[in-house]
Amino acid sequence: MKINKFKNISLLFGLLVLLFTACESIVDEKELVNNTDIDGVELVVGQNSSGGNLLVLEMATPGVTGYWDYNLGTALTNKVEIVYPIPGTSTFTFVGTLGAEFFEKTIDVTIDVLDTPLDQDWYDLVSENTAAGKTWVFDGVGGDGGLWWFMSPPDNPYGVWWNAGGECCPPSDASGKMHFDLNGAANYTRYNNADASGDLGSFVLDVANQTLTFSGQKLLGAEGCGSNGEDLTYNIVELTEDKLMLSIPNGSCGSGWTWVFVPGE
């Protein structure tokens, strides 16, 4: 019998092609695309009155998602209502995605009157006269036996492991003071001692989570075992008109640390 070698080779090649084709996975590639451009993102702000401080921040463009950064916190939603405590013109930022890329867009709002009351914590921290603000000092002096700067258990800011300020080793800025005000921004001015000129920073009071965060300037007594490194956020243990008590669970000596302040001049 005569064998057609060329025909058999062609058939074998065809079978191999079919085999490899059958083994190839089917890939359904989907490419992300933008739903709009930045100019097409509409930011809207509603105010309870002309120049009022009850604001509704809204990103009104369908197909766009993200969150609001309103300077004193963030809202993980396209629409949020806030009572803003700072008169003047403020800039709010929406951070989101167009579909294929991220973006930031801002909107300016002018507040002329604080006609919606703030949470009481704001008044306790900066006083009823929010523009003038309020000064805080340590509730004691070095070696007085008082509890105003001390090592505490990580889970108990009232517990005392070592009364550093009241016994032997007050911080270097024990005679300093802190001033908080809302005069155009959330201003924090730190004075290293009674005669020092002030150094300006800023702060964020998170009422919901009961934290106080500093930026640009550190808290008084944030040194030694009372340092928490680069983290400038502190837990609010107590905040009243007459007392500000802060703590951290993770001081540099492997323990918690507690600060107690009272109003000063």
Q: Is residue 1 part of a domain?
A: no
DSSP annotation of 9: H
Residues 211 and 235: beta-carbon distance below 8 Å:
yes
- Looking from the CA of 161 toward its CB, the CA atoms found within 13 Å total 17
Percentage of the chain with pLDDT > 70? 89
Same domain, 129 and 251: yes
Condensed to tens digits (0 to 9), the pLDDT of residues 96-105 reads 999 889 999 9
Same domain, 91 and 127: no
The CATH number of whichever domain residue 99 belongs to comes to 2.60.40.10
Mean pLDDT of the chain, nearest integer:
90
Instruction: Tell me the whole-structure pTM to 2 decimals.
Output: 0.83
Boundary of a domain, candidates 69, 84, 111: 111
* Of residues 264, 119, 249, 111, the one with CA closest to residue 193: 264
Q: Is the per-residue pLDDT at 13 higher than 80?
A: no
Same domain, 226 and 253: yes
149-152 vs 256-263, strand pairing mode: antiparallel
Condensed to tens digits (0 to 9), the pLDDT of residues 106-126 reads 999 999 999 999 999 999 999
Residues 231 and 200: beta-carbon distance below 8 Å:
no
Cα gap 84→225, rounded to integer Å? 35
Parent domain of 84: 38-111
Residue the block writes with tokens 């703590």: 247
Same domain, 136 and 253: yes
Cα gap 246→199, rounded to integer Å? 21
